[in-house]
């Protein structure tokens, strides 16, 4: 199937417009809005539905592989600070210093 550059550009423009509308007007969570607009952009751009899902999974997997360990350790550290009470003490210290 031959895909024209017009449909690709149209898909991109509609995707960006839809992303802005979903996040700013409907207050959709940005992650959900990105997934929805990725699907819409791919379909309008001429990709097969199965290929759209495959490309989104591949892109998400590469991103998660690069940052997953850092995010995991950050979540664990945040939980440790919360349980120990250190986050509350840290917040009070910042308030005292910064006003």
| pLDDT tens over the chain, length 99 residues | 567 788 889 999 999 999 999 999 999 999 899 999 999 999 999 899 999 999 999 988 888 887 888 888 889 998 998 899 998 998 999 999 997
Contact in structure between 14 and 29 (CB atoms under 8 Å)? no
Give domain limits for the chain.
Answer: 1-47, 49-99
Give the span between the Cα atoms of 9 and 32, in whole angstroms.
Answer: 22
Structure tokens at 14: 């509609």
Give the predicted TM-score (pTM) of the model: 0.64
The DSSP call for residue 85 is T
Burial category of 81 from C-beta neighbours within 10 Å (exposed 0-12, middle 13-18, buried 19 and up) = middle
């Amino acid at each position: 199937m031959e895909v024209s550059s017009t449909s690709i550009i149209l898909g991109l423009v509609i995707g960006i417009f839809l992303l802005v509308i979903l996040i700013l007007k409907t207050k959709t969570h940005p992650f959900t809005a990105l997934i929805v607009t990725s699907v819409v952009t791919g379909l309008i751009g001429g990709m097969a539905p199965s290929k759209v899902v495959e490309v989104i999974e591949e892109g998400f997997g590469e991103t998660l592989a690069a940052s997953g360990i850092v995010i995991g350790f950050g979540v664990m550290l945040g939980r440790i600070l919360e349980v120990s009470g250190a986050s509350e003490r840290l917040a009070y210290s910042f308030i005292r210093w910064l006003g």
